[in-house]
Structure 1
């Protein structure tokens, strides 16, 4: 079978346009990269301006005060601050107990770090302070180190889930607080260093599915730790792997010892808190000037009833007990064995940052302003560092407080000053009042604060329908946290998140772009189920790979490319035939009757004078025949064909007397493969080596291999590897797919005729 196709070719004279000339012609002035000396000058026009900018960026409260609308915002911030402060007090005490510390240290942690964040934070709406998940992680370290040092057994003679049971000896209290403060110090140093080195981008590596599964699992740990207080039980402390199932079994064993009075009190408190927070504050929001402070109402009523009814004496209901009054003097954290929990501190630092900055981003987007992620890292770090010397443990933003701050109309972090004032009042004046507060009331406040976390189960349906990888990450992370422990679950979740990124990049599906019309300058589009009439550009295949190209997915890239284009490894290599011209011109059917021989390029001249008999006895392969000479239909070859002729050493006299036949492989209708690099944001050394190898492989079978639509970063790496824009000898690189198609495509009105012999 023989078909003729019109083929385009570039102009006879190769035009080499240099990049500088192209920039001048198109009036393009690329930005030159600045050196280290020029960067500070560009950012600061003067020393005064530079210092002013630096101070404002590191102390955001200055900019807030300079632009503060006192008449419009002050009342809103005061109401929001007092509302948040009311929640700070019970949550601080509850989360301190959760961290295996006396309740008063939760009040300290709700004051000093919050005050420091006012000066350093860039978010206007988050409520920084104690947080349940971080308190749980702190408790993991405190309990482990306490057991290793023998604090519980030596100082109290007991080992129960009640963290207050070991506070009968001052030395035990001081050591446990010292451990918690040491962890907080390491957390602060870690966060500060990560912020200074601009590593706030670490938050982007934590997927939503991982964070959701981890927080949900941590919520189960918190709820299980509060269950003994809600039931009035004292059970054996469990610090081993698989804590939740063991604690649950212990609770079932001690069910006969449940205190009815504490169960009733807990149910009443939980019902009241849920009704106020989930019904009244939600359904009647538009009728309320501010959310009803359910936590403070419950705490106030609990203290009042405990005092009037003498709950501890008459009903054996456990109360908070002695709370020191006033602010303690600064002390150095307990750093004797800090090397044993450095890893824990790093995990807590990253977890605290992720929990806080994710909420800060959401609120910043809602209220149309931006936060500085790296400055947030520094703000959290310095707040924790300062707090560690003032008997504070690490924390983060807590969703219940942050939501109240936003719902009550808080405008800036000035609201935190009002909340700090209320907490300070509780530490100095009202501290004795909290001694009568029942523990089950505090546990109820903590449990209800977890309800927003438990709503995360609704995300599973979304993950299942959208991305099964995210579903697996969420479920496995949650299971690891619940059935193993928090630290193992955190590490498992991070590992799975990274693994899914690699797997999804490894399994990326490439596809051919197609033409929506038959013009010579087509619009290229991906295949669509709604448009089945798309056609490929004649002679050209444009391959789009929507991902980065690196060591993990180069085999998949090559597999996809070979699948939709052609596999050069399964095609005969390019050969050149030289036969007397009269065999072609005298009889047009001679080729079919007398097959011509295939010879390698290096031996073409030696076989030039082969006899016709020898030619007839050599089997032929499918080839593309290019007729040319004085009497031929074509007078010249394209640039790559000229190079082929020159490599044979055939002079002009020989051209006029002979016919050159070039084979391009069996059943191949592809002249050129264009790689669309528009979505290829990154390429590593393995990817560059693959492109070079593909160029060589396709060239051996007569198919061009070019690149198009490379971004600036990709071009830089290609240039460093010796691949430059234009007609490079390594790989041709074109600015757009259109340029690549036009330069290598098949167009009408060409004087070069190609006959395909099959």
Structure 2
């Protein structure tokens, strides 16, 4: 079955094709029409191929259309940049970026492994294999993946509270990487990346700010020289720090503070001045080198060191302890969400900055495969790093070759440099972590939200507070829950506006936003700025009843009637309407019909009109009450309302004949000239007559054939007004005075 739309001067009239069994639109005028299928193009009819079989045939057709080169591009994004690689232009910046990120990654990887409660060697393993895998299967050309602070803290928070041996702790951290990778691949296959959109930026900012504070406090033990309880809550951390104050040691505090100061100065200079840009990525390496040299020279006994680190590349081994997988699912889901937010967010920003498209599904697949294969080589969960990705981009990275170079630097470090890492002070690694997370404390965002959107500010406060005091997992869940609650509330309570006509135009706008817009007695025009479905239809019906009761109080133009006779629904913002809304619309029509109130539909889009047609709403309301524009609906409604009063005072009715138009014009009072007064401040004759011609004259008169000429007759602002057109040539002498009456001497010369 097909439906056609014929556009008339003021109707939105659906007509059925000849093949249709419906009688709708049989009396339509004979004019060219645009025919569209009644069935939505993205759905299948009940009489066509069943859905699973239809999906199979669509996949089959897609496979047949896809060339081998396209398949390679889809599953191996690296093939795209390898095929078009500009060796002279790209090679040097890729090598420099990879070298810079690799130098930055080595000390950071060890620091984040310590944050995760693991031996530093597992941080190096996490920064090795996953980088190569992502460079091949990832879609971002500047994203630098590996161990990051937030994920490391999540691993430490969950596994640290399970009373595990060191060996079991490490095996479960590796198992988490495997589970996170599986979840990311499933999300990529099912294209579920859109779920992340429900987590607002306020939640992310509040969560990262609170997490940064917790991370910094958790590293205090390496500065203070004594153990601090492992916790993701701020209160136990502060209590532990205070209770152990008598064990305070000056050497690690002084050394850690000096290294932290060096890192912050180098980071600031690298950001603020271009000539010192190289200092930013060199900061962690400088801190490690200075700390190691100090330890080698002075041999301080009170400063704890990293200790022995195994030399060589990681060996292949399948993750173990799958019996713990069930209990780790919530943690794996949380890490997956945080990893995707951190990685995809920075990847999209870098892709837009460098002018290429990012495939979110391929991005999830690349991250998932990097974690799965990384877990076979003793890596714990990894994701994209904000700091290293920014350095990679600033260093000029053009393709994934930069990631391969960074991974090679890590491999060389594992092969040849691990004996030197034995003398790295723990407080130096802690300083690297604190320096990295200080940039995550986003108090500027809180100030911005306070000035811009109080609701988002409250969301930021709730998320950060619950994360600080109740833990990271609860903080994320509460933040996401409140964010979804706000979304549901906005969806269930959509914005609804009563529309009025702007003076001198046929444009209708929200009367609260445009106080000068005027309404009509007996007619209420309503616009719902959201899809209509089961969750918000009750709210919409309640608001319509309120408008019905209150609209007469604000109406300032039109025939004086005692109650509402027409409800015009402006439906252009409504993109979807479900079965519950359709049924509610039927009930509303019956309720209004019993009180002699007609419902008019103005400007519904194609999908909504198809739904209304299939549900029988078009026939129920009547095709004569469907319109292309709100103004067309208003004009028709005014024609009906005017029959209730034989002496209308509305100046804008299109249905008046020319004789009554000029008769009324000659008796018009100044208090009814608000249109002209609002436009110019004074009811000048030229503006007055022009407005009446635009809005009041019979539409059969072509506006481009109307000529208005004014000639001054005296010094008392008396004008001769000549109006000429094809059907009428009246002459009028317009004489404004100080009294409340503006007199016209009008002669109809039809």
C-alpha displacement of 1:732: 7.3
Give the Å deviation of 1:24: 8.4
Residue 695 of structure 1 and its aligned partner are, at CA, apart by 1.1
CA change 1:532–1:23 in 2 (3 A) is same
Deviation at 1:692, TM superposition (A): 1.6
Q: CA deviation at 1:215?
A: 1.1
| Pick aligned residue for 2:628 from 708, 729, 736 | 736
Q: Deviations over 1:645-683 (max 9, x none)?
A: xxxxxxxxxxxxxxxxxxx99821x33212122222333
| Runs of 5+ unmatched residues, structure 1 | 1-9, 152-171, 569-663
* Structure 1 residue 291, shift from structure 2 partner: 4.5
User: Does the Cα contact within 8 Å between 2:495 and 2:530 map onto a contact in 1?
Assistant: no
Inter-partner Cα distance in structure 2 for 1:15 and 1:187: 54
CA contact (8 A) 1:538 1:745 kept: no
Q: What's the offset of the Cα at 1:490?
A: 1.1
2:190 is matched with which residue?
A: 197
> TM-score, with normalisation over the residues of structure 2?
0.76
**Which structure carries more relative contact order (alpha carbon 8 Å, separation 6+)?**
1
- Does residue 87 of the first structure (1) align with residue 104 of the second (2)? yes
CA distance in 2, matches of 1:751, 1:372: 59
- For 1:684, the equivalent position in structure 2 comes to 578
Q: Once the 2 structures are TM-superposed, how far is the Cα of residue 336 of structure 1 from its aligned partner?
A: 2.2
Partner of 2:296: 307
- Give per-residue Cα distances to partners, 1:266-300, cap 9 Å, x unaligned: 1111110000101x112221565785511111111
User: Shift in Å at residue 245 of structure 1?
Assistant: 0.9
Instruction: State the shift of 1:226 in Å.
Output: 0.5
Deviation of 1:339 (Å)? 0.9
What SS does the corresponding residue of 2:67 show, helix, strand or coil?
A: helix
Deviating beyond 6 angstroms after TM superposition, the runs of 4 or more aligned structure 1 residues are 13-16, 19-24, 730-733
Question: In the alignment, what sits opposite 1:545?
Answer: 528
For the 8 Å contact 1:706–1:740, the answer to whether it is kept is: no
Asked if 1:75 is matched to 2:92, the reply is yes
**2:460 alignment partner, one of 434, 455, 474:** 474
Distance in structure 2 (CA, Å) of the matches to 1:196 and 1:720: 35
Contact residue 84 and residue 404 of structure 1 kept, 8 A: yes
- CA distance in structure 2 between the partners assigned to 1:190 and 1:357 by the alignment: 15
SS in 2 for 1:555: helix
Alpha-carbon offset, residue 409 of structure 1: 1.4
Q: Which residue in the other structure is 1:105 paired with? A: 122
- 1:291–1:407 Cα contact (<8 Å) kept: no
Shift of 1:426: 1.0
The Cα of 1:227 is off from its aligned counterpart by: 0.8
State the alpha-carbon separation in 2 of the partners of residues 318 and 461 from structure 1: 40
Q: Matched residues in 2 for 1:443 and 1:684: separation?
A: 56
Relative distance call for 1:430 and 1:97 in structure 2 (3 A) is same
In the aligned structure 2, how far is the partner of 1:192 from the partner of 1:262? Answer: 43
Alignment partner, residue 212 of structure 2: 219
In the alignment, is residue 464 of structure 1 matched against residue 450 of structure 2?
Answer: yes
Equivalent residue for 2:315?
A: 329
Closer, same or farther in 2 for the Cα pair 1:288/1:359, shift >3 Å?
closer
What is the deviation of 1:739?
A: 7.4
The aligned counterpart of 2:176 is 183
CA distance in 2 between counterparts of 1:42 and 1:380 reads 29
What does residue range 358-377 of structure 1 map to in structure 2 within 5 Å? 358-377=345-364
The answer to whether residue 422 in structure 2 is matched with residue 415 in structure 1 is no
Question: Would you say 1:25 and 2:12 are equivalent positions?
Answer: no
Alignment of 1:41-52 (within 5 A): 43=62, 49-52=66-69
1:303 touches 1:436 (CA, 8 Å); kept in 2?
yes
1:144 to 155, 161, 168: 161
TM-score, normalised to structure 1, is: 0.75
Q: Is the 1:707–1:731 Cα contact (8 Å) retained in structure 2?
A: no
Asked if 1 retains the 8 angstrom alpha-carbon contact of 2:218 and 2:230, the reply is no
Residues 1:275 and 1:675: Cα distance change in structure 2 (over 3 Å): same
Matched, 1:281 2:274: no
Aligned residue for 1:650? Answer: none
Change over 3 Å in CA distance of 1:22–1:80 after alignment to 2:
farther
**RMSD across aligned positions (CA):** 3.1
Residue 247 of structure 1 aligns to a residue whose secondary structure is helix
For 1:37 and 1:336, how far apart are their aligned partners in 2?
36
Matched, 1:694 2:588: yes
Q: Quick one: structure 1 residues 352 and 712, their matched pair in 2 at CA, closer, same or farther if it must change by over 3 Å?
A: farther
Partner of 2:518: 535
Task: Show the counterpart of 2:239.
Answer: 249
Tell me, yes or no, if the aligned pair for 1:707 and 1:732 is still in contact at 8 Å: no
Partner of 2:302: 316
